[in-house]
Amino acid sequence: MTRGVGLTLAAAVIFAVLVLPNHPGTMKWSALNRWPLELPVLLLGALAIGPRWGVTYAAALALVFAVIIKVADYGMFSAFNRTFNPVLDLFLVGAGLSLLQDSIGTGLAALAVMGGALALILLFLALERSLRAWARLSPPKPVRLSAAVLALLGAGWAAADAGHHLEYWRFDKSPPGTAWTTRLTVKRGIEVQQTATELARFAEAAQKDAYADASGLLNALEGRDVILIWIESYGRASFDNPLYAPTHLGTLHAAQAEIAQTGMAMKSGWLTAPTSGGQSWLAHGALASGLWTSDNGRYKAMLASGQRWLFHFAQDAGYRTTAIMPAITVGWPESLVMGFDQIFPASDIPYKGDPFRWVTMPDQFTLAAYPALLTPDTRPDFVQIALISSHAPWTPIADMVPWDAVDDGTIFNDMAARGPAPKDLWRDQDAVRDAYRRSVDYSLRATFAHVARLGDAAPLIIVAGDHQAAGFVAGSDNKDVAVHMIGPPDVLDRITHWEWTDGLIPSPDGPVRRMDSFRNAFLDAFTYAQVSEMVGK
């Protein structure tokens, strides 16, 4: 009786690992309805082979590896709406640990890491002991042989199911049961191989840039200053999610009326970002380089390729190029190939106030302070500003203050001390969504109030969202972001053929283009001769 209970519990442990989902949408009790075809293979195989040759250790290690893949997928789906790719995403472990440390403190973060490592060790021991419990049975030889035959048959059945779903072959109906864990692990291995091949192709394709040798680009700007402002986590959800649209559309309508009073025109459209939930640099890279940097591997390949960014072309056109990057708090060697003459990370922006936890400074301060960083120069300015107040975890949130009261930023200190702490806020998803709504609204108000203040200088201003928030916040897996262009009417006439909507509210059914199309479209629109006529001349 005791042995029977022990064997049942051992089988239940392995069953739980095999049916463990890898996606938030399937983390439900209904997952227990799956019948994992690997379970009888493992149990009968252990019974047939016995406790020898380290088979139980190898099988337990393989199952732990499968759990790691599933948990990594779960985290990536929650944050970025995609699976985990070991080749491309290992660097995110460090970034995630840094965010965890900032959110809950070094001590608790260290405990969380040690707890995770301990959990894996305990899981390995539990799985190995569960397999060993079946391997230690000593049935008669005919029973052992029968178990071996049944295990082989079960393995064939599992292979048939995996091959069917991986499309190596097709049956009219999927075989009963599921070898889901097996095919997930195999699929991830295939993806690793394909990624390595794809990166090599990407690096080669990046060398073939038809615009690289064109001359006289951006001459239609006639030396006008250009300012590109990125708003963190600002996407289509601000327009079509009823949790956010009333607030954000109201702010945009008010900003539109204020900017119109300056005499500047506005046009708005949609771009599809290469990422969602985070990794803003992928969006920045796609828009400025003209290459689809949908993951970190492609991004690194793009940096190594010698591809010319929008800022390189601006330099050729006589511009001083500048990056205002309040989120950069460590070395940024990648910036050396992006075409910037000068870069201002957080430490070089004169903010004397307290940080808003992960957010180094509120957006209003960044927008108020950067003009003083642009020392007198005979060249016009082409500036990128990457705002961060609407970056997760969306607490605390600053208030707008009079622009002439911003000063050194200490006016924001009381706001920076407000709660709730991220660990408290993120216990309640509805509270997270509301904080996101208010955070993006703050960034929109700060950005467009600053744009209205620039009206007299008549620059060309581009305001773009970098990506949608994580799926549970955005309410969808859509990756579209809003992009706005603001400037003198005759300048914006040059993008009429883009079919963007007049004003700050893009038409919901307006054209949607991938973000990597922007570089070439911008070069073409703001060059008197068509670029296609200038390539190679």
pLDDT in tens, 390-401: 999 999 999 999
Between the alpha carbon of residue 489 and those of residues 89, 127, 260, 340, 361, the distances in Å are 44, 68, 11, 28, 33
Weakest mean pLDDT among 106-115, 339-348, 448-457: 106-115
Residue 292 lies in a domain: no
Supply the pLDDT for residue 530. 58
Residue 484 lies in a domain: yes
Spatial CB neighbours of 185, under 8 Å, sequence gap ≥ 6: 62, 65, 66, 69
Render pLDDT for 496-535 as a digit per residue (tens, 0 to 9): 999 999 999 999 999 999 999 999 999 999 998 755 555 5
Q: What is the count of structural domains for the chain?
A: 2
Q: Are residues 352 and 467 in the same domain?
A: yes
Tell me the whole-structure pTM to 2 decimals. 0.71
Residue 537 lies in a domain: no
Cβ contact 22:77 at 8 Å: yes
Residue 24 lies in a domain: yes
The overall average pLDDT reported for the chain is 88
pLDDT over 80 at 11, yes or no: yes
pLDDT over 90 at 435, yes or no: yes
Q: Are residues 113 and 243 in the same domain?
A: no
Q: Give the separation between CA 25 and CA 77, rounded to whole angstroms.
A: 9
Q: Are residues 272 and 178 in the same domain?
A: no
Q: Which of 433, 436, 437, 439 is nearest to 415 (CA)?
A: 439
Supply the pLDDT for residue 133. 86
Residue 526 lies in a domain: no
Q: What angle do CA 276, 280, 285 make, to 5 degrees?
A: 110
Q: Are residues 262 and 192 in the same domain?
A: no
Residue 522 lies in a domain: no
Weakest mean pLDDT among 14-18, 140-144, 342-346, 348-352: 140-144
Q: Are residues 352 and 475 in the same domain?
A: yes
Most distant CA pair in the chain, distance: 93
Catalogue the E-assigned strands of 299-417. 320-325, 342-345, 381-386
Q: Are residues 322 and 387 in the same domain?
A: yes
Supply the pLDDT for residue 87. 67
Q: Are residues 132 and 242 in the same domain?
A: no
Q: Are residues 96 and 143 in the same domain?
A: yes
pLDDT over 80 at 95, yes or no: no
Buried b (16+ CB within 10 A) or exposed e, 490-513: ebbebbeebebbebbbbeeeeeee
Supply the pLDDT for residue 444. 98
Q: Are residues 371 and 463 in the same domain?
A: yes
Buried b (16+ CB within 10 A) or exposed e, 413-451: eebbeeeeebeebbeeeeebbbbbbebbbbbbbbbbbbb
Q: Are residues 134 and 89 in the same domain?
A: yes
Residue 207 lies in a domain: no
Determine the structural domain holding residue 438 and report its residue range: 222-277+298-509
Q: Are residues 145 and 182 in the same domain?
A: yes
Q: Give the separation between CA 254 and CA 505, rounded to whole angstroms.
A: 11
Could you give the count of Cα atoms lying within 13 Å of 504 in the half-sphere of its Cβ? 28
Query: Which class for 475: exposed (0-12), middle (13-18), buried (19 or more C-beta within 10 A)?
Result: middle
Residue 206 lies in a domain: no
CATH number where 395 lies: 3.40.720.10
Q: Give the separation between CA 431 and CA 424, rounded to whole angstroms.
A: 10
Q: Are residues 346 and 434 in the same domain?
A: yes
> Identity (one letter) of the amino acid at 494?
R
